[in-house]
Structure 1
Amino acid sequence: MTTALTTDTSESWEVLRRTAELTGPRIRLALDRLSEPVRTVARYHFGWCDADGRPTDAGWGKGLRGALVLGGAQAVGAEPGQALGAAAAVELVHNFSVLHDDVMDQDATRRGRPTAWTVFGSAQALLAGDAMLVLAMEELASSPPPARHVAGTRELCRALLALVAGQSADLAFEERADVGLDECLTMAAGKTAALFAGACGLGALAADAGPAQVEALRGYGHHLGLAFQLVDDLLGIWGDTRVTGKPVGADLRRRKKSLPVVAALGSGTPAGRRLAELYQDERPLEPTGVTRATALVEQAGGRDWALAEADRQRSLALDRLAEVTLDPDAAHGLRSLVDLATHRSS
C-alpha cells in the first residue's frame, strides 16, 4: 500500500476507544440474553471467548459505525448516552451482516482468527447473526424516549434493505462478466455506505436534530462509507495479512469484482483485457495467478483509480459536514474518522 493508506491517526483511534468503552458493555449485556449455543458463537465472533466459551479479549473490530452514531448525536448537541442504544444496535447489525457475509464468501479468517462458521458450522453462525439482528431491534426499542423509536427503526430498516440489495448485487456480480463501474459503486453504496449513512442518521435522530442536520450527516456517512469500501478493496489486494487479519488475495482468487478490479476491467487497456481473460477462465486461480491478477489490476489503472476515488469521496464527506452548524468538538471528531477511513492499514 502507499503511504496515503497506511497512516492511522491517533485522534481517530481515541474516538473509537471511547466509543468501545461505552458500547462494548451494552453489547455484552445484549449477547448475554441469548441462549446457548448461539450465545457462545456470538461472543466468539466478537472476540470475547474462545471456541470452548473461555473468556478472551481478541478484539471486536473498530466499532466505527457505533462511533458514527455517537458522533452524529454529539454533533447536534446531545450527550452520548442519548444514542447509546442506537450505537449498540448499529454495531449488532454490522456484525450480523459480517457473520452472514463470511458464510456466503466462505472466508476462513477474520480479525486474525478462524471465522465463526469454520468453528461452529454455517447453521450456527447464521443463527447467531439472526439473533444479533433481533437484539439490535430490541436495543432500539428500549432506548428512551419512545417517540424516537419509530423514526429510528425506519432509519435502520432502510439501511438494512439497502445492505441486502448491495450484498445481493455483490453475489450476482461473481456470475457476470459485464459489470460496469457505476453499478459497482451502487452496489458498494448499498453494501457498505448505507449502514454508515444510517448510523449517522440514527445519531442525529436520537438527538432530535432538524431535517437539514439529519440529511447532512447522512450524506457525510454515505461518502465516508464509499471511501471506506474503496480502501477495504485496496487492502484486500495490496494489504498485509498480518495487519488486516484477512487473507489478502482471497477476492482475486474468487474472481470477485471489487471496485479496483472493475475499474481495471473497464479501462480498455491491454492489461485490462488480459485481466478479463484471466477472470473468464474457469480453472481455479493458483497463487501465481493471483500474483498476475494483482499486477494486471495495477497496470490497468485500477489501483490509481480507487485511490483517487477514495480521496474524492473523502472530500465529499467533509463537504457535507460543512453544510450545517454542528458542535465544533464533535464535528472535529467526525472529521478525524474520515481520515481513519482513508488512511488506514487494516
Structure 2
Amino acid sequence: MTTTSESRTARTAGEVLAWSRGMVDPALRSAVDTLPGSMRLIAGHHFGWWDERGDPTDVAAGGKAIRPALALLAAEAVGAEPSVAVPAAAGIELVHSFSLLHDDVMDGDRTRRHRPTTWAAFGVGAAILGGDALLTLAFDVLAGSEHPAATESMRRLSAAVQDLVDGQSADIAFETRADVDLPECLTMAERKTGTLLGCACELGARFAGRPDHAGRLRVFGERLGLAFQLVDDLLGIWGDPKVTGKPIHSDLRHRKKSLPVVAALTSDTPAGHSLAALYHRDAPLSDDELMDAAELIELAGGRVWCRRKADELLADALCQLWSIAPVERPARELETLARLVTDRDH
C-alpha cells in the first residue's frame, strides 16, 4: 500500500523549511518558557520571537533551521511519521543555538541574521549564560519526551557536543598558528559542523525506531555538514552581507584559518606565499588588505578547491542516503535541502 509520504509530491526547500519550523517552533517555545525569566528573554531574542525588551517582533530571525528539518525528514525517510522526531529536532536546534551564542562571543561578531548578536544586545556574560541554558535545555527536552530512544539519543547528542566543542577549540587555536595543514583543518570542520548535522539525522532515525539505519543517515549528515562548512567558509570571505547578515571579509578580519584560507596557504604557489606574508602579520588588516587577501586566496586556488571538495562530499552524502532504500518523497526532500545548503556561494 502506498504511504502518505510516498504519495505526496516532493516539496521545495522553502516549503520544507517552513513546514519544519511550524513543526518544531511550538516545542521550542514550550521549552524556552520553562527557563528563568532572564534566560527566557535571551533565548527568545536569539530565535527572533521578540526584541531586547521582550516586545514581539515580526522579523524572521530564527535562521533556516536546517538541522531540525534533517531530523524530521530522516524519521520520515525510514517510514515513521515526522512528528515522532520533534523532540530530537528541538534538542538539536537548542544545541545549535547554544553554539551560535558562544561562537559570536568568541569571534566578536556584533551582527547575525541582520540583527545585533546576543552578546551585543545583552552583554558577554549574559550571552554565555544564555548559551549554557539552551544546552542544558536540549537534554531536558530529550529526557522529557520519555521516548524509548531518549537515553541513547542523549548519549549520542552529548558525544556530538564534545566533538563540536573540540572543533571550535581547534578553530580558535588555529588563528594564532602559522602551520595549520589541510587535513587537520578538515578534521576541525568535521567536528565543528559535520558532527551535529550527522547527529540530527541519526536521532531522527532513532526516534523513528530504526536504529539499523541510524549509522548511514549519520554519515549522510556528516558529509553534508562538512560540505556545508566549506560553502559557509566561502561565504565568510565572499558572501554578500545583505544575504549572510555578517560583515564582508569577517573571517579574514579575525584571521580565521578557514578551509579556503588553509587551502591557499598550503598551495605552495606565489599567491599562497604572498597571502602567508600578509596574513601572519601582527598588525590588523586594513579594508584594502582584506580585499587583497581575498584575491590572493582565489589566485592560490582556495576558492576552487573548496567548491570542488563540497561537490564531492555532497555526492558521497547522497550515496549514503539512497543506500538505505528510503521512502522516496522525504528522501528527495533531504536531497533538495542538501543541494540548497551546498549551493550558497553566488
Q: Do Structure 1 and Structure 2 share a fold, with TM-score over 0.5? A: yes
Which amino acid is 1:187 matched to?
M
Q: Provide the C-alpha distance between the structure 2 equivalents of 1:333 and 1:254, rounded to a whole number of angstroms.
A: 36
CA distance in 2, matches of 1:184, 1:10: 35
How far the C-alpha of 1:345 sits from its partner, in A, is 5.3
Residues in 1 aligned to 2:285 and 2:80: alpha-carbon distance in whole angstroms: 52
In the alignment, what sits opposite 2:309? Answer: 309
Q: 1:210 to 1:132 in 2, by over 3 A?
A: closer
Aligned counterpart in structure 1 of residue 92 of structure 2, from 83, 90, 93: 90
- Residues 32-91 of structure 1, C-alpha deviations (whole Å, 9 max, x = no match): 111122211111111111111100132200110001110111111111111101100100
| TM-score of the aligned structures, taking structure 2 as reference length | 0.95
How do 1:158-169 and structure 2 match up within 5 A? 158-169=159-170
> What's the CA shift string for 1:276-317, capped at 9, x where partnerless?
001111001110110000000000000000010111111011
Q: How does 1:71-86 map to 2 (within 5 A)?
A: 71-86=73-88
| Distance in 2 separating the partners of 1:242 and 1:69 | 29
Q: Is the 8 A contact 1:163 1:191 kept in 2?
A: yes
2:283 — aligned with what? 283
Is the contact made by 2:101 and 2:127 (CA closer than 8 Å) also made in structure 1?
yes
For residue 247 of structure 1, report the CA deviation from its aligned partner: 1.1
Partner of 2:6: none
Aligned partners of 1:12 and 1:339 also within 8 Å: no
- Any unmatched runs of 5+ in structure 2? 1-9
Please state how far the C-alpha of 1:10 moved relative to its aligned partner: 7.6
Paired residues, number: 336
What amino acid is the match of 1:305? Answer: W
- TM-score, structure 1 normalization: 0.95
Looking at structure 2, the residues matched to 238 and 10 of structure 1 have their Cα atoms a distance apart, in angstroms, of: 30
Match of 1:257 in 2: 257
Cα distance in 2 between the residues matched to 1:223 and 1:57: 35
Matches within 5 A, 1:185-224: 185-211=186-212, 213-224=213-224
Query: Equivalent pairs: percent with the same residue?
Result: 51
- Equivalent positions of 1:41-190 (< 5 A) are 41-59=42-60, 60-145=62-147, 147-190=148-191
Which amino acid counterpart does residue 215 of structure 2 have in structure 1? Answer: E
The residue identity in structure 1 corresponding to 2:239 is: G
Q: Which blocks of at least 5 consecutive residues in structure 1 are unaligned?
A: 1-8
- Tell me the distance in 2 between the aligned counterparts of 1:142 and 1:166: 29
Give 1:92's aligned amino acid. Answer: L
Structure 1 residue runs of 4 or more that deviate by more than 2 Å after TM superposition: none
Following TM superposition, by how much is the alpha carbon of 1:150 offset from its aligned partner in structure 2, in angstroms? 1.4
Once residues 173 and 108 of structure 1 are traced to their aligned partners in structure 2, the CA distance between those partners, rounded to angstroms, is 22
1:248 match: 248
